[in-house]
A and B are shown apart, each in its own frame.
Chain A
């Protein structure tokens, strides 16, 4: 087909599609049902005119309108308002306003997060955005509160780190559960966290917090000995031992290699832990784990002959193949 004819056909088809869509005016028309208005909003494919954008912003502002419609409107015009100072301010106000419905506030937050990627102006509004997030860390709405705290934690925000630490010291001031607080503080390797994590291994506020603490100790060379002790302790919870082994592997591959080899060859050890150790030595090991070790290999041959576990035998074969 002639390219110009093809272009003409495509243009006509697009025109037909646009004409058959419910018009933007149907979204603005308050006499239509919610579903009709949302459908009209969703069907819009072209960029809005300035007047249409202003009408939509009026709907977003209008507390008499259905929250779902306002939330949909926020999402639909998100890209178009990223270069307007006053509309970013509007979204910030909606996020902060505790009297606004959750749907509206969450939609505002989602669009603000999107603008962080696409709007150069938004980057200049970053201080206001961070201030808005800090203003809702005690919000009665759990969804808004948690979302704000998580974003601030990812930003390594001084204020939220301070509040999370306060909550760990005094549970009556906690913004989130202890395990969540530890996880969020763990976003920042430079936070004042590791002594607290080591203490938490001994006196955990919850089992989940203890597991989270072990995971994060992978970044703390001062915790090497503690991790070795946890890995070796057969009375310790299996998940904690496994997490400790993984943390040790990141922290000190040589020490991990030593500990993992002992576990793999120990017939009194849990099979899952032996498998984890062997997999670590095979796939994630630093060079030391793959240096041929005659004694270890002899032990593996014995284990392959004696073990009834097919999984363990396969893991042994994989390891031996890697060391060839």
Chain B
């Protein structure tokens, strides 16, 4: 065990070895922080692996928190999967992890409902009994089963969920007998448990990424960019003189809750900027994680198809060099298999007129109004 925990894990560590470590931590829950360290998307263990590999590694790690307890530091990763995940294995793992919370909290109820919507037409048969399981199997679970079991586990803390659960339970809602049983069990369990004297909350500060700290005083590094019209410029040239909003995405992303939605929301944000008469005072941009594939024509089509309006101050970029420096500067939560993105989080930054990071919105869905208010604050004297 000690040897396993002391081992440096990186891209060359075999999946089976990492799974052994997870199993070892399950036997020694006091070592659970080791698992939290493996959650950031940019961790070297995910480098050079296919997306399905990263999903099974990440899912196996997340699911272990049910057994070892879910530390607060791991909660944002779990809520991210519930809110945005479209992979049944990861969503099921996140639902299991919720049951590792020391105190059940009603704050997770909306996340569980979001997960139902995300996964009900994409569910899958899965198991956490074994890493890389063989099939056929006599026993398996599914993401929906795990989600409803988490409602069950929440007990009276999920009182507010009962009306919606009853609507889901109503005949003709399209759920199988297996899922109907899980919903019924959850409703019964919520009703059966006595309300506690105190209510537990999850601190909202936990849902935001840690402040970027030392980066704040650094200006964005000077990197060669190409925009959607094939114009060449440097990052420093663009991210100066005015505050900027910059989102990250890539056109081959298959999760509609991530890149596609981010860019659609960026288009809406641009609309709000125009409506408030702030055009000309703020810049908006999006940078691809996949610069070798996302050529200017692809960037342009992706933006236009999602309501983005391009202008001198509103552009999409690919880096011509220095993607690594960009990753380091923004602390991007992304990893790659060759040049293909294998996983990433949602991330958007507000930069001041010197190109310094003023505010980070990462992992959970950002609110356009909140982003705009953060950018507007930089327009007032002393706002930087």
Contact = CB atoms under 8 A, between A and B. Distances in A.
B52 A161 contact: yes
B232 interface: no
B338 A222 contact: yes
A251 B294 CA distance: 9
A134 B135 CA distance: 6
Contacts of B133: 159
Interface string B112-156: 000000001111111000001101110010101000000000000
B340 A190 contact: yes
A189 B55 contact: no
Interface in B317-359: 337-342
Interface string A246-257: 000001110000
A126 B123 contact: yes
B176 interface: yes
Contacts of A26: none
A127 B140 contact: yes
B34 interface: no
Contacts of B88: 127
B27 interface: no
A126 B340 CA distance: 29
Interface string B293-306: 10101000000000
A219 interface: yes
A34 to B, nearest CB: 34
B125 A220 contact: no
Given A135-B136, A159-B135, A161-B52, A194 B120 contact: no
B138 to A, nearest CB: 10
B133, B136, B142, B292 — which one has the most chain A CB atoms within 10 A of its CB? B136
Interface stretch (A117-125, A259-267, A268-276): A117-125
A123 B174 contact: yes
Interface in A76-134: 85, 88, 96, 120-121, 123-128, 130-131, 134
B193 interface: no
Interface in B71-128: 88-89, 120-126
Contacts of B295: 252-253, 286
A192 B49 contact: yes
Interface in A129-165: 130-131, 134-135, 137, 156, 158-159, 161-162
Interface string A228-245: 000000000000000000
Given A130-B124, A158-B56, A190-B337, A221 B174 contact: no
Interface in B159-216: 174-177, 179
Given A127-B142, A158-B89, A220 B339 contact: yes
A190 B125 contact: no
A189 B49 CA distance: 13
A193 interface: yes
A158 B52 contact: yes
Contacts of A162: 52, 132
Instruction: Please tell me the size bucket of the interface on B.
Output: 35 or more
A25 to B, nearest CB: 31
Contacts of A220: 338-340
A15 to B, nearest CB: 33
A124 B120 contact: yes
Interface in A181-225: 188-195, 219-222, 224
Nearest to A124: B176
Nearest to B59: A158
A124 B174 contact: yes
Given A219-B293, A221-B293, A222-B339, A191 B179 contact: no
A192, A194, A251 — which one has the most chain B CB atoms within 10 A of its CB? A192
Interface residues of A, number: 39
A190 B140 contact: no
B52 A121 contact: no
Interface in A42-91: 85, 88
B252 A189 contact: yes
B50 interface: yes
Nearest to A160: B135
B46 to A, nearest CB: 12
B302 to A, nearest CB: 15
Contacts of B126: 127
B48 to A, nearest CB: 9
B125 A131 contact: yes
A11 to B, nearest CB: 32
A194 B175 contact: no
A128 B174 contact: no
Contacts of B342: 190
B136 A221 contact: no
Given A162-B132, A190-B254, A195 B338 contact: yes
B50 A124 contact: no
B53 interface: yes
Contacts of A189: 252, 340
A128 B125 contact: yes
A126 B124 contact: yes
B300 to A, nearest CB: 12
Contacts of A195: 338
A88 B174 CA distance: 13
B133 to A, nearest CB: 8
Nearest to A116: B121
Nearest to A185: B50
A124 B52 contact: no
B63 to A, nearest CB: 15
Contact of A221 (B50, B144, B254, B292): B292
B137 A131 contact: yes
B125 A127 contact: yes
Interface of B: 49-53, 55-56, 88-89, 120-126, 132-133, 135-137, 140, 142, 144, 174-177, 179, 252, 254, 292-293, 295, 297, 337-342
30 contacts: A88-B176, A96-B136, A121-B176, A124-B144, A124-B174, A124-B179, A126-B121, A126-B124, A127-B123, A127-B140, A130-B125, A131-B135, A131-B140, A135-B135, A135-B136, A137-B135, A156-B52, A159-B135, A162-B52, A189-B252, A190-B52, A190-B341, A191-B50, A192-B52, A194-B340, A219-B252, A220-B340, A221-B339, A251-B293, A286-B295
Which 4 pairs show the lowest CB-CB distances between chains A and B? A192-B50, A221-B292, A120-B174, A135-B136
Given A88-B176, A193-B50, 8 more contacts: A96-B136, A121-B176, A123-B174, A126-B123, A162-B132, A189-B252, A194-B338, A224-B292
